[in-house]
């Protein structure tokens, strides 16, 4: 079973003051997009595809050394749904069985979380459907077997990625609250808090 990591990194980060993919938690540290790619690979994905949009060329330039493929979502401004559709459309003709979808703005979601979600999903082959949970609250990353890609593509609209598909389809919830909070980095204030903490 081949597994691809799909990192959604297309947003403009309006509340952050710029694209979150370019944010660095420390002055000389890696960007969030570089960190996300490294964690997805370390967690067990065979390769990584990053969906970019806002500042797409700048984000893509950061990824040259990572080996990640870059996909541009032309309609990225619509929201997460557009990024997910672009990513799944890119994967469609390939031979991956499972996509591990994560967001670029999850600073404490480590490779250990990715590994746990994949360990749960891989036994279900292309029918896999699983998502991380933090203290019982569903979050990211999510694992989508190929059998679900068409339905998710139809449902992914606006800022809704695979949420509607999960709402009506049995899936595995993988508790990861002992590993991370799963909270996203949404505003400049969140970044300040993280850097101070």
Residue 124 CB-half CA count within 13 A = 20
51-104 pLDDT, tens per residue? 999 999 999 999 998 999 999 999 999 999 999 999 999 999 999 999 999 999
The label of the residue with tokens 């890119």 reads 90
Mean pLDDT across the chain, nearest whole number? Answer: 92
Task: Give me the residue spans of the domains in the chain.
Answer: 3-196
How confident is the model at residue 142, as a pLDDT? Answer: 98
How many CB atoms lie under 10 A from the CB of residue 67? 10
Query: Which numeric CATH code is attached to 3-196?
Result: 3.90.550.10
CA distance 40 to 173: 19
Residue 190 phi, psi (nearest 5): -60, -40
């Amino acid at each position: 079973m081949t597994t691809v990591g799909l990192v959604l990194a297309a947003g403009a980060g309006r509340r952050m003051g710029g694209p979150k993919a370019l944010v660095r938690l420390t002055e000389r540290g890696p960007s969030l997009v570089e960190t996300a790619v490294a964690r997805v690979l370390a967690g067990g994905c065979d390769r990584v595809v990053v969906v970019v949009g806002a500042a797409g060329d700048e984000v893509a330039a950061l990824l040259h050394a990572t080996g990640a493929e870059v996909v541009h979502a032309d309609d990225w401004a619509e929201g997460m749904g557009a990024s997910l559709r672009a990513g799944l459309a890119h994967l469609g003709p390939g031979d991956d069985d499972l996509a591990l979808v994560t967001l670029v703005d999850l600073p404490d979601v480590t490779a250990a979380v990715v590994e746990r979600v994949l360990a749960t999903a891989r036994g279900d082959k292309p029918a896999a459907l699983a998502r991380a949970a933090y203290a019982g609250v569903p979050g990211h990353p999510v694992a989508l077997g190929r059998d679900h890609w068409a339905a998710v593509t139809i449902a992914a609209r606006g800022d809704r990625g695979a949420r509607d598909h999960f709402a009506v389809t049995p899936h595995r919830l993988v508790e990861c609250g002992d590993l991370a909070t799963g909270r996203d980095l949404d505003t400049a204030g969140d970044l300040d808090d993280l850097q101070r903490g």
